[in-house]
Amino acid sequence: MTLLSIRDLTVHHGQLRAVDALSLEVRQGEVLAIIGANGAGKSTLLRALAGLILPTSGTIGFAGRDITRLPAHKRVSAGIALVPEGRRLFRSLTVEENLLAGGYRRRPGPWTLGAVQALFPWMAERRGQNAAQLSGGEQQAVAIGRALLANPDLLLIDELSLGLAPVIVRRIYEALPEIVGAGTTALIVEQDVSQAMRVADRVHCLLEGRSVLHGRPGDLTAEQVEHAYFGLDARPAGQEGHD
């Protein structure tokens, strides 16, 4: 079942056309990874899906509903939560206070404070610690937990591994199957191609705001991904692997 449907979406970042007539679908219960170099339009796409930027044209459908012009706070209530690039925690608040902030527009579902602390066990014993004292990886985990407390159907994670040590990234990704298993679909923006290919059910590679390659990781060769990523002999989207 299609959860998110994007059709001919164009989004400008200032004068720049950051997303250019993009179409893609996210299916319920899958992990879809968006890869691409800096400036490919990945973060702009996620901000548009979260309602932080209004598109110039095109449509966004979510759970059978047109949400193209829906305000950001109503998208949270509809079932979309964003983990922004840079984590954006409240640095003056504690770990627990940051987590609880995600429940302000909480929907019914499996994610409670206790469930998030079970997913990341260190959080319970450090719940009173100031968020500013956490490492980058710990802050990322708290940002994910904060988003989960809204009980989203679709979790958007922007640049999950950016600036984090590989061992920390691996630990965070190890939580992903449990998140998806609880009923949350995940759309991840990731610069680490090898990591994205390991965890995703499907990938889209963006170049200058367009999808130039997409399919299942097992159906795409390293050469195809490299050429799409760097714009070498890029071919139009539509080279989907066997579905």
Domain map of the chain by residue range? 2-230
Per-residue confidence in pLDDT tens, the chain, 243 aa: 999 999 999 999 888 999 999 999 999 999 999 999 988 999 999 999 999 999 999 999 999 999 999 999 999 999 999 998 766 788 889 999 999 988 777 789 999 999 999 999 999 998 998 888 888 888 889 999 999 999 999 999 998 888 788 888 888 888 999 999 999 999 999 888 988 999 999 999 999 999 999 999 999 999 999 999 998 864 444 444 433
CA distance 14 to 231: 23
pLDDT for res 86: 67
Q: Which CATH superfamily is domain 2-230 in?
A: P-loop containing nucleotide triphosphate hydrolases (3.40.50.300)
CA distance 14 to 9: 16
Burial readout 97-125 (b: 16 or more C-beta within 10 A, e: otherwise)? bbbbebbeeebebebebebbbebbeebee
pLDDT for res 103: 79
Distance of CA 91 to the CA centre of its chain: 22
Taking alpha carbons only, the member of 47, 41, 42 closest to residue 60 is 47
Taking alpha carbons only, the member of 108, 154, 218, 110 closest to residue 2 is 154
Give the 3-state secondary structure percentages of the chain, helix then strand then coil, rounded to 5: 35, 25, 40
pTM over 0.85: yes
